[in-house]
Structure 1
Amino acid sequence: MEAAVIRRTQDTLGKVIRKPPLTDKLLGKPPFRYLHDILSEVIRTAGFFKGLYTESELKSENVKEKDSKISFLQKAIDVVVLVTGEPLSVKPARIVAGHEPEKTNEFLQAIGKCCLNKDRRESEIRERSGSRDRKDRQKDEERKHSEREKKKERERVGETEKDGLRGEKNDREKNRVKEPRPETDRTKEKVRDRERRSEGSHGKERDRTRDKEKVRDRGRGEHEKERNLEKEGDPEDRSRERDKERGDRNRDERTRTREQDKERRRERDSERRKERVKDNEHKADGEEKPEEEMRSERKHKTSEESTKKIADISAREERQVSTS
């Protein structure tokens, strides 16, 4: 076997392990026990192949049968091919038989490269991890600083708003003291209720009084118009105007009279109903009508006669106006 092959093994694998010694004699024709010790040391120092073998397999005295030796080597070869992604032409059975030492050295060189690459990857991972940790810490510090600044800003804004609210509240309190207290709606409603109650039974009488006053005022106004018409304008026109106004007054008077008659009839009917009830009660008791009731009946009859006379007079005046 060429010496260059052994030197490549010593250069690569020698950077990973210190024992067993990588001598030219042992590497020239490596026995299985020597290879078992190399793989065990690689596991111990570099962590490569860790978890691949059982505790029993890591003891050389337990791996003496040919099949167990071939299985032990085959596991290591499969891992190296998987990690490097490159095929190996070495055969476990040929190694156990002591054949193909060059291919066996190639296998050992591949193990050394895997360990060295593993160390580099771990170093790179540690560096990337450290850099990432530093960046994370830096971002975390920046985030905390930003949160502190935001909190301070919110506190400043909050204090400003509180001051403004306190000022507005004080202004409202001052204005409330200065302004007179308005009367509540409930008080107003009570006043209106008292007014309505006080009007109560006298409301109807007041309405009648107001109607009479309106009639008197209207009569005064019409008389004033007649006097004004007499002072100015054509006599015939004034006469026609007076007749027209007289007719209007007569119509208004008739209308008022009819309304008054209706009201009197309603009152009279009501009184009559009451009298009939009393008569029935007196008859049931066998008593005569009191003198007061008799006077009331005579009063109603007189009122009816007066009403009839007024109606007759109004009718005659209307006929006179129509013929003129």
Structure 2
Amino acid sequence: MKFRTFIEALEYYDTQAIRFKNHFILRNWLAGIGCGLIAVILFSTLVAFHAYLPPLWAGVVLPTAEVLLVAGSFVLLGYSASRAKLRFLQHRHWAEYLRVRTLFTENGLPLITTPLNYKEGMRATDKIHFKIPSELRELEKSYVPVPTHVYNLFEIKQSLITFINSQQKYHTEIRIEGYEEKEHRLEFWLKVILYVFGGVVVAKYAFEWMEYTHSPFIHEHLYLLKATKFLVIFLPPLYAALEGIYYFSEWKRNIRISQKVHERYENVRVKIEESQDPAQLQEAAKSLYRLFMGEHIDWLNWYQNKKVEAKV
């Protein structure tokens, strides 16, 4: 695909990255987890309420549905999600690469030609997936930087600082505050499930003791024993699924990273503000490029090596 400008290429890859992310998260990952949980619900129902189910449902419908749901979960998490994840990471990588290049070209700054420093943890085959497309390389070759003697230092500084502000806002509002809220919410529900499970285990023991002692109460309310059996089977997988989401997200780690990156952007801001000539400004811009792309490559490497199907 041919692009006339960097901003046109950025808009294309950014849009595609969002599309693949929604496909990966909403259609595959959550659907895979959902299929697994529904399968557990059916299994729990079959075990706890077997005596109340019609023979066709107990012997054919529910077992068949369980098998299909488990198979669907494996396909969604192990195959479809992985493919969509790779496509998402590719387009997000190219979009972020273009984001900082668009900043440079809009201000007439020379492009950084230093090779991207992928982490050693990323396999060679994975690095191939993230090679910059040839059409973007051609776009770079056609770009001619503005001569330094016509630089408007004030305008370039303002543009670079505006970019830094947007990145700091992203890390503060989207990542740090957003992740803290998600983390607290999920931790709350994990505690609720844990306490409920403890109560259910105690209740199940009490009901079973009543059944053993032939208590009239439990014989009149046998559904209570069945319900506790259902919950004892269902709650642990539910807890494990939420733990899987917690594991995959690693909110604490990402919050710490964003806090450090926010500070580093502040240091780069100072370098830009203190630049007195084009050479100093170009050096400060290089620092901004290295920080932005270094942060992105770290994220890319972490996300690529995170296997959701290994946990859920």
**Shorter-chain TM-score range:** under 0.3
How high is the TM-score relative to the length of structure 1? 0.27
How high is the TM-score relative to the length of structure 2? 0.28
Greater RCO structure (CA 8 Å; 6+ sep): 2
